[in-house]
């Protein structure tokens, strides 16, 4: 069964192909300059009903020179049958698109990454008919990013790093740095990377750490950032609903003007005070007693 962690490890390349530039540098390969990247179908099934599917396939078209295909596989454990599958994927893609094909294997633990380096020899005894040499990304070569400023410079790489190092002893520090970096990011990026990490880290200790980082808003208090404002707004809305709920349960009527005043309040201290009073007041107006002019 394909897990959420598996999907996140390769899906980021489809959604954020700009990750290829730092990845090529990590692998000591010349990055394709000003390349257009196209997501291709991962289906490698032929007419006969033997389903074969690559996790992700990208077509990279540099501004100059010939393009190539990049098959991306997320690998969570050693699987000795993969050598044959990967050889098939590369041969099939090369024949179908008439372009060179490379294989990139993404691993989240060092043992699997070491195994995935191969090479995978296909043939009989000492006679090698085909040899597969994957490119591999894993904890051994993906950088650990602990500086919020560095993370902010490339959120895509920082997010991929956090996914790769989810089991690292520094995972809490990595995630804290990334959470701080997101304080300066645009809303769309914050939403995408936050959700990807929540899915990709799942129920692991790192996943729990990430959910805590993104829920409590303590990584940049008082900075007025988008995430902090969103967090405080959500908390205020919840408290306002609580005040109205208590009044409703106690059978205390509220005018539309009163309800609007409660709902539109964003000051958490005031809402806390109103919530405490809602348990004992006789009328809704008594919530605001000391706040009225002349009181």
* CA 238/CA 11 separation, integer angstroms: 34
**CB atoms < 10 A from the CB of 256, how many?**
7
Q: What pLDDT is attached to residue 1?
A: 39
Residue-wise pLDDT for 252-268, tens only, equals: 999 999 999 999 998 88
User: Residue 169: CB partners within 8 Å, gap ≥ 6?
Assistant: none
pLDDT band at 90 (very low <50, low <70, confident <90, very high): very high
Instruction: Give pLDDT, residue 52.
Output: 60
- In this predicted model, what pLDDT tens digit does every residue of 185-199 receive, in sequence order? 887 888 888 888 888
pTM over 0.75, yes/no: no
Q: What gap in Å lies between CA 161 and CA 144, rounded to an integer?
A: 6
Query: Residue 176: is the preceding peptide bond cis (ω within 30°)?
Result: no
- pLDDT tens, 96-138? 999 999 999 999 899 999 999 989 998 888 888 889 999 999 9
Return the CA Rg of the chain: 26
Q: Nearest to residue 131, comparing CAs of 96, 87, 169?
A: 87
Average pLDDT over the chain reads 82
Average pLDDT over residues 278-289: 88
Please check the confidence at residue 35 and state whether its pLDDT lies above 80.
no
Bridge partners, 58 (sequence order): 39, 70
Instruction: Find all residues with CB under 8 Å of 6, minimum gap 6, and list them.
Output: 55, 74, 76
């Amino acid at each position: 069964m394909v897990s959420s962690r598996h999907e996140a490890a390769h899906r980021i390349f489809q959604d954020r192909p700009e990750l290829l530039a730092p990845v090529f540098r990590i692998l000591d390969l010349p990055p394709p300059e000003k390349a257009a990247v196209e997501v291709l179908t991962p289906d490698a099934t032929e007419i006969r009903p033997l389903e074969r599917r690559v996790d992700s396939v990208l077509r990279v078209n540099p501004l100059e020179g010939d393009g190539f295909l990049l098959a991306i596989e997320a690998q969570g454990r050693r699987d000795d049958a993969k050598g044959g599958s990967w050889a098939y994927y590369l041969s099939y893609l090369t024949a179908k698109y008439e372009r060179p094909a490379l294989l990139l294997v993404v691993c989240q633990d060092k043992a699997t990454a070491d195994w995935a380096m191969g090479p995978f020899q296909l043939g009989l005894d000492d006679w090698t008919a085909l040899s597969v040499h994957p490119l591999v990304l894993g904890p051994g070569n993906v950088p650990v990013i602990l500086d919020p400023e560095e993370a902010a410079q490339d959120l895509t790489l920082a997010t991929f790093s956090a996914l790769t190092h989810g089991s690292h002893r520094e995972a809490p520090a990595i995630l804290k740095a990334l959470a701080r970096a997101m304080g300066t990011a645009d809303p769309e990026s914050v939403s995408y990377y936050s959700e990807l990490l929540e899915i990709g880290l799942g129920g692991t200790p790192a996943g729990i750490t990430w959910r805590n980082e993104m829920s409590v808003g303590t990584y940049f208090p008082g900075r007025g950032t988008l995430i902090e404002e969103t967090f405080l707004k959500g908390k205020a809305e919840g408290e306002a609903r609580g005040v109205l709920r208590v009044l409703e349960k106690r059978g205390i009527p509220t005018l539309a003007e009163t309800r609007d005043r409660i709902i539109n309040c964003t000051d958490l201290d005031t809402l806390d005070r109103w919530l405490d009073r809602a348990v004992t007041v006789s009328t809704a107006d008594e919530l605001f007693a000391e706040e009225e002019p002349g009181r």
